[in-house]
Chain A
Amino acid sequence: MTDKNKNQVKPLVKTPTGILGLDEVTLGGLPQGRPTLICGSAGCGKTLFSLEFIVRGALEFNEPGVFIAFEEKAEELATNVASLGFDLYELQEDKKIRIDYIHIDKSEIEETGEYDLEGLFIRLNYAIDSIGAKRVVLDTIENLFAGLSNQAILRAELRRLFQFLKDKGVTAIITGERGESSLTRQGLEEYVSDCVILLDHRIINQISTRRLRIVKYRGSVHGTNEYPFLIDEEGISVLPVTSLQLNKQVSSERVPSGIPALDTMLSERGFYRGSSILTSGTAGTGKTSIAASFINAACERNERCLYFAFEESPQQIVRNMRSIGMDLQKHIDSGNLQFQASRPTLYGLEMHLVAIHKSIRKFKPTIVVLDPITNLITVGTMSEVKSMLVRLIDFLQVEQITVMFTALALNTITNEQTDEGISSLVDAWIQIKDIELNGERNRGLYVMKSRGMEHSNQVREFVFTKTGLDLIDVYIGPEGVLTGSARATQIMLEETGELIHSQALDRKDRELDRKRKMLEGKIDGLRTEFESTEKELNKVYIEEQIKKERIQQARRNMEDIRKGTPTSNDTDNKENK
């Protein structure tokens, strides 16, 4: 109760370790001013872990540290970590760290009567004060038990030691060998109760995996899972797996696939940035080529790409891609492309994940390719691979990195399951299928799914050319879907037909023309005939008119004559009347 109240008033201050990933798992580091127990069996990395804590503290957080070694001499330690790029001698000269080797040789020591470990305290105190240390490591204090036989005194003194460390206000790491039934052989955990971290080195199917678990952390929330960690040339990296919340940022930016025709199938613009793409197909269908053309295009746009090859060596891939007109070497040289080739069996699945995480964090690519993920099944079961990929996809989506997986699909039930198992995780799934017809094999490409965009439901024939990859519309005719040479033949046949057809049309056109000209000639003749007839008729009509008028005149003249009126003028005569 009082403990809780204290924490509410003043939350637990933490000391960052500087060890990659550990500070995330512990939400800030180890409890400041308190001892932490790191236990584990032989060879699990306790010493390296604690030494890295000291060195990183000195280098990155400007906190000097004291390393009390009960097992290894200072020179041995220096040699051991020299490969990690830590120069212990230099750090010691700069008074940033101090390594004290405490040697206990039982054969030299005789015990008579009462004693205490004040000598150790004095040494420790002197070491801490001489460089103003904030961090202390005791590795491995259990050696005291081997050297001294009076257990009662030892236990009492240990209790005093931890109290002393707390009073000094140093953040301490105590390492302990894993016991049969308890966390440590000597039950150190009963003295150190603030924070206990268990390291583990397991071998499953001949493949070793290192794991770390925070057994307890008083006064703080912490990750409770087993976290895999990796020891490599840069020290320890712990992989926090993972935020399982589905609330990451999404982008509606598009990434072209590198194959224009494929982009067309994906509503003209390609994949979403930060999405995950699965390319699956049977052996030799060009999965790697699709992946390569994807990164090739990205590198041309000056994006950074990381290619994890689990099957082929980088040189092999570079050579093979040259045959379809892609120069990947150019991108490697410019630094846009990096290959990480490793055999899946090199280490366990979790280790692969840690290694992938690490390289991604270091290289900061925008596009990542894993080729092929199916090979990972050799080091884990399907569900393990799936859970690893979930975490990987999770991580990549948070970082807005587009990832393309390739997967080999065999025509066996198990692998189809894999396909489906993974396909539910990915955003886009491109499948390449063999289409076998007329004694030849052709590749048909389908977009099985593509979340959040319109995509073509059509199968396209996938062809390799000297200049890259291309998709061709398959021929769909009365004979069904045709690909390859069958398609070519069909197209040729159709072209011939069209030629014949068009010639027939030409002939008909010409005939029509002729007929029209003939008819037009006839029409002209008739028209002239009609005109001459019309003229004739007009002439007759006019003559008739004139004749009629003449007769009427003559008749009137005759009448006038009969009446006896002078016939000077017809009109005058009428007026006179």
Chain B
Amino acid sequence: MEQEHYELRLYVAGKTQKSTTALNNLKKYCEEHLLGKYTLEVIDLLVNPQLAEGDQILAIPTLVKKVPDPVRKIIGDLSNKEKVLVGLDIRPKV
């Protein structure tokens, strides 16, 4: 496991079912694997629609890993834990 700091952004649009599920899932994974070395920013596009362009957000919810490189996007409610961990490069691809 890497010892780097993780900068994560979760894009949501209002308090929808999918967004809530995604946020809950994410929090759970981070507590398990990245405790103390991550920052999570939740961006509600309904409040700040202009922010969607910067990270090329199409789908909601989208999790963006800004740091460390490479930039990764994971879309969906993050229900598949394996995929999320692989996507965040926490766990290497099998």
Contact = CB atoms under 8 A, between A and B. Distances in A.
B13 A122 contact: yes
B80 interface: yes
A148 B22 CA distance: 18
A117 B59 contact: yes
A119 B52 contact: yes
Contact of B75 (A100, A111, A123): A111
Contacts of B59: 115-120, 148
A112 B78 contact: yes
Contacts of A123: 49, 52-53, 57-58
B73 A109 contact: yes
Interface string A221-251: 0000000000000000000000000000000
A126 interface: yes
Given A100-B53, A122-B49, A123-B53, A113 B60 contact: no
A112 to B, nearest CB: 4
A118 B11 CA distance: 10
Nearest to B75: A115
B75 A109 contact: yes
Interface in B71-87: 71-80, 83-84, 86-87
A126 B78 contact: no
A104 B58 contact: yes
A116 B19 CA distance: 10
B83 A110 contact: yes
A111 B60 CA distance: 11
A108 interface: yes
Interface string B1-38: 00000000001010010100110000000000000000
Contacts of A122: 13, 45-46, 49, 52, 57, 60
B56 A104 contact: yes
A455 B35 CA distance: 103
Contact of A113 (B49, B77, B86): B77
A115 B52 contact: no
Contact of A114 (B57, B72, B77): B77
Contacts of A148: 58-59, 75
A126 B46 CA distance: 10
Interface residues of B, number: 34
Interface residues of A, number: 24
Contacts of B11: 119
B62 A119 contact: yes
A126 B49 contact: yes
A104 B57 CA distance: 9
A103 interface: yes
A100 B46 CA distance: 18
Contacts of B62: 115, 119
A116 B18 contact: yes
A113 B59 CA distance: 12
B45 to A, nearest CB: 5
Nearest to B59: A115
Contacts of A104: 56, 58
A224 B20 CA distance: 52
B71 A117 contact: no
Nearest to A148: B59
A115 B72 CA distance: 16
A259 interface: no
Contacts of A116: 18, 59-60
A109 B60 CA distance: 13
A92 interface: no
Interface string A84-126: 0000000000000000101110001111111111111011011
A148 to B, nearest CB: 7
A112 B74 contact: yes
Given A110-B72, A123-B52, A115 B46 contact: no
Contacts of B49: 122-123, 125-126
Contacts of A144: 58
Interface in A128-148: 144, 147-148
Contacts of B21: 113-114
A120 B58 CA distance: 4
Contacts of B74: 109-112
Contacts of A120: 58-59
A112 B84 contact: yes
Nearest to B61: A115
B83 A112 contact: yes
Interface centre among B16, B58, B60, B80 (most CB of A within 10 A): B58
27 contacts: A102-B58, A104-B56, A108-B71, A110-B73, A110-B83, A110-B84, A110-B87, A111-B76, A112-B75, A112-B79, A115-B18, A115-B59, A115-B61, A115-B75, A115-B76, A116-B60, A117-B58, A117-B60, A118-B13, A118-B16, A119-B57, A119-B62, A122-B46, A122-B52, A126-B50, A144-B58, A148-B75
Interface of B: 11, 13, 16, 18, 21-22, 45-46, 49-50, 52-53, 56-62, 70-80, 83-84, 86-87
